[in-house]
Amino acid sequence: MPQDRARLFDRLMMRGSLALTSRELQVSYNALRFWRRGIRPIPGECLNRLASAAGVDLASLRFERVPFLWRGNPVSQPRFQELARRQVELMRAPSARKKALSSVYASHGEEHFKHLALRTAEGLPMTRREVCIEKQNQRLPSGVRAESHRTLCGKNYDFAYFQGESLVATEEVLGWRRKRDQFFFDVAYILARRHVDCPTLLTSWYEQRSNRRTERFPLDLVLWLLEQEGLLPILLDVPEFRQAREDLITRRPVDRLPLRRFCEEKLSSRNLRKGAEAELKTPQSTSERKVHDLFKSAGLRPAGKKAFKTNYGTYLVADDYLPELGTAVFVSTSRVEDLVGASFALKRLCPLPIKAIGIILNPSKARWHVASGVIVGLDALLTPKTIEQWLCSSNTKLWLGR
């Protein structure tokens, strides 16, 4: 019974920590954690040792007996692990994967995995930020209905708002990111998969405390979103944005002028140029220097870091710049998302057309699939081994005028 399990482990904790009990009884620490939480059954021999160590009469403990599991037998466990390893290797083989996928598609259709992911998203619990939005929704008029994790047009939205049976708006809650490139990637990802005819709210917070610092949402991204039809950025800790959110959901006219004025006033109070100059003076990192040397060895003349001024008075600093190609270079060890976000910001916020390429130094750890289908402007996504091949391509030669 849960009460008896709790009593047993309470007595054990009075002797010391679980780590101490694990060392004394020579029992796995993780096993003790699982037994304490009731996730896994306790073998009879281990139960005797635990009761003896806790000073509890074994007869007074009421535990339900469960059937013996073959794979839990110490004698057969190595054999079970070997069979499991072989099964994993078999399923990783391309021929086996192709056959397995063909079988799934034949039984459930080619949209099986897509629908499975959507059903999984619908059943997920709300995040801490979504809970804050849910509390805000409790103040909406009685005629407005909010539904969380609703699937519409093959896309799962954090919130969907209805008046009667009519869809009024959808809402995506942006998680907190320390790097501005990640914010831009999140927006690019959402825009690439937005297929509804109603307005979409992109909600976050203006300020966030992080490691004794105050991090701020990029206001140039907010200004760009305010210019896009069907999109409304929301900073929930700013009263003007909260009012605009309520106006949109209740189908009242939304005045975007106070929102724009808030962003422009905040930006004008900062010395944005000084920040960009400080970043330009910072030496290139080891990974950035490596890419710089690769372009040099290929016969180009990379100019190092370069700042680009946006339409909103802010600055974007590229990791490197190739004057011959008029191309900004962004470098990351393995995060494709950062490269996609940086190129999205450069293409959307800067007035002049600029080419952008991304370099991934450790392609084996990169999540290449995150960039699939995202509408950005990366003219090339390369690795150190493909730079020379890219320079020899016809498109690159056309850039160089060769």
By the 8 A CB rule, do 176 and 206 touch? no
Structural domain boundaries, residue 237: 121-268
- Which of the listed ranges 61-65, 208-212, 322-326 does the model predict with the highest average pLDDT? 322-326
377 — pLDDT class (breaks 50, 70, 90)? low
350 lies in some domain: yes
97 lies in some domain: no
By the 8 A CB rule, do 310 and 349 touch? yes
The last residue of one of the domains, among 268, 298, 328, is 268
- Which of the listed ranges 103-117, 143-157, 300-314 does the model predict with the highest average pLDDT? 300-314
By the 8 A CB rule, do 36 and 5 touch? yes
Task: Check whether residue 188 and residue 252 sit in a common domain.
Answer: yes
131 lies in some domain: yes
Task: Check whether residue 240 and residue 144 sit in a common domain.
Answer: yes
Q: Which residue has the higher pLDDT, 300 or 69?
A: 300
Q: Which residue has the higher pLDDT, 238 or 127?
A: 238
When mean pLDDT is compared across 308-312, 361-365, 395-399, the lowest value belongs to: 395-399
Residue 76 has pLDDT above 60, yes or no: no
Task: Check whether residue 252 and residue 277 sit in a common domain.
Answer: no
- For the chain, how many structural domains are there in total? 3
Q: Which long-range contacts (CB under 8 A, 24 or more apart) does 32-38 make?
A: 35/5, 35/9, 36/5, 36/9, 38/2, 38/5
82 lies in some domain: no
pLDDT value of position 9: 80
Q: Report helix, strand or coil for 352.
A: coil
84 — pLDDT class (breaks 50, 70, 90)? low
If you ran DSSP here, which 8-state letter would residue 216 be given?
Answer: E
Query: Residue 315: which CATH number?
Result: 3.40.1350
Task: Check whether residue 246 and residue 287 sit in a common domain.
Answer: no
How remote is the C-alpha of 86 from its chain's centroid? 32
By the 8 A CB rule, do 375 and 190 touch? no
80 lies in some domain: no
Compute the average pLDDT of residues 209-214: 73
> What is the percent of the chain where pLDDT is above 90?
24
Task: Check whether residue 287 and residue 312 sit in a common domain.
Answer: yes
380 — pLDDT class (breaks 50, 70, 90)? confident
Its pTM stands at: 0.68
Contacts of 228 (CB under 8 A, 6+ apart): none
The last residue of one of the domains, among 230, 253, 268, is 268
369 lies in some domain: yes
Task: Check whether residue 252 and residue 278 sit in a common domain.
Answer: no
When mean pLDDT is compared across 44-48, 49-53, 68-72, the lowest value belongs to: 68-72
Task: Check whether residue 220 and residue 280 sit in a common domain.
Answer: no
Task: Check whether residue 206 and residue 239 sit in a common domain.
Answer: yes
Task: Check whether residue 133 and residue 231 sit in a common domain.
Answer: yes
111 lies in some domain: no
Compute the average pLDDT of residues 107-127: 62
Task: Check whether residue 169 and residue 297 sit in a common domain.
Answer: no
Quote the CA–CA distance of 94 and 317 in Å, as a whole number. 42
pLDDT value of position 319: 93
Of the candidates 331, 352, 336, the residue with the CA atom closest to the CA atom of residue 284: 331
Residue 177 has pLDDT above 70, yes or no: no
pLDDT value of position 402: 43
Task: Check whether residue 260 and residue 127 sit in a common domain.
Answer: yes
Compute the average pLDDT of residues 197-222: 86
Task: Check whether residue 184 and residue 262 sit in a common domain.
Answer: yes
Q: Which residue has the higher pLDDT, 71 or 388?
A: 388
92 lies in some domain: no
Query: Residue 45: which CATH number?
Result: 1.10.260
